[in-house]
């Protein structure tokens, strides 16, 4: 039985988040510049999106560029931005053909204008699709997101639009970038690093975490299926006991 056949279609996570790590190390192993790893990582993105759509995963969020990544060498940052523009432009037709909607979270206004405009155009062109939503986390960090949410809530309290005593989890959720999405149930990170690197800190509170030694450019559909099979073999208790789940 193949890994895909082992997946229980009735127990699929609605939302899977992925930290695509290892492009630079993969390129270094090949004796190439880091951008070569990023370029080859595009195939892994394509395979992962295809696998998610084929299975019926409703939301797939990819950590594409963090706010901290702006601190990388300028040459790499600019090459990454150019690759992003080219990839979005080249893949929009395929997204539409496969009924996949594109969305983005993060400090998008900080992106170069050509990148921002290309992104917004692709989001507009795919807005009517409803098979799967591909979410790109760009110029994103969870601390940035939470600080913004706190500022917005504080302003509403100051303006008399909200009482501080009424603030609860739903209030925070509704002011995050992911307000219209279910929380991720599974987070996958490649490259053997066992941390979440300022990614969806609030949203991952009860997510299952899956770490693989595969470097991102080597990640394929079978690896995605393996992560889901592993997820489905876990017991998700949400603070309860195993006995409570059975009863």
237 pLDDT above the threshold of 80: no
Asked whether 229 and 239 are in contact (CB, 8 A), the reply is no
How many angstroms separate the CA atoms of 16 and 49, rounded?
11
pLDDT at 245: 54
pLDDT at 235: 80
Residues with catalytic function: 21, 69
Q: Find the Cα–Cα–Cα–Cα dihedral 121, 124, 130, 132, rounded to 10°.
A: 30
Asked whether 139 and 77 are in contact (CB, 8 A), the reply is no
pLDDT at 239: 57
Greater model confidence, 242 or 231: 231
pLDDT at 242: 55
Instruction: Note the pLDDT tens digit of each residue in 72-117.
Output: 999 899 999 999 989 999 999 999 999 999 999 999 999 999 999 9
Asked whether 28 and 18 are in contact (CB, 8 A), the reply is no
Asked whether 146 and 115 are in contact (CB, 8 A), the reply is no
52 pLDDT above the threshold of 80: yes
DSSP state string for 76-101: HHHHHHHHHHHHHHHHHHHHHHTTEE
Asked whether 164 and 155 are in contact (CB, 8 A), the reply is no
């Amino acid at each position: 039985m193949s890994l895909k056949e082992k997946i229980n279609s009735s127990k699929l996570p609605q939302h899977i988040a992925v930290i695509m790590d290892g492009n630079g190390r993969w390129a270094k192993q090949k004796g190439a510049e880091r951008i070569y790893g990023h370029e080859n990582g595009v195939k892994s993105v394509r395979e992962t999106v295809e696998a998610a759509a084929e299975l019926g995963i409703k939301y797939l969020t990819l950590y594409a560029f963090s706010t901290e990544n702006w601190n990388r060498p300028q040459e790499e940052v600019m090459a990454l931005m150019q690759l992003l523009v080219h990839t979005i432009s080249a893949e929009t037709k395929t997204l539409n053909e496969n009924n996949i909607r594109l969305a983005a979270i993060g400090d998008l206004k900080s992106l170069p204008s050509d990148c921002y405009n290309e992104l917004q155009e692709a989001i507009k062109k795919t807005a009517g699709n409803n098979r799967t939503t591909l979410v790109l986390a760009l110029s994103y960090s969870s601390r940035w997101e939470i600080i913004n949410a706190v500022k917005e809530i504080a302003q509403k309290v100051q303006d008399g639009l909200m009482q501080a005593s009424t603030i609860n989890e739903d209030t925070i959720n509704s002011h995050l970038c992911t307000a219209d999405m279910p929380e991720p149930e599974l987070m996958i990170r490649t490259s053997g690093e066992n941390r979440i690197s300022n990614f969806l800190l609030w949203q991952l509170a009860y997510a299952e975490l899956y770490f693989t030694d595969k470097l991102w450019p080597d990640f394929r559909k079978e690896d995605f299926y393996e992560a889901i099979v592993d997820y489905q073999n876990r017991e998700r208790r949400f603070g309860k006991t195993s006995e409570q789940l059975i009863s």
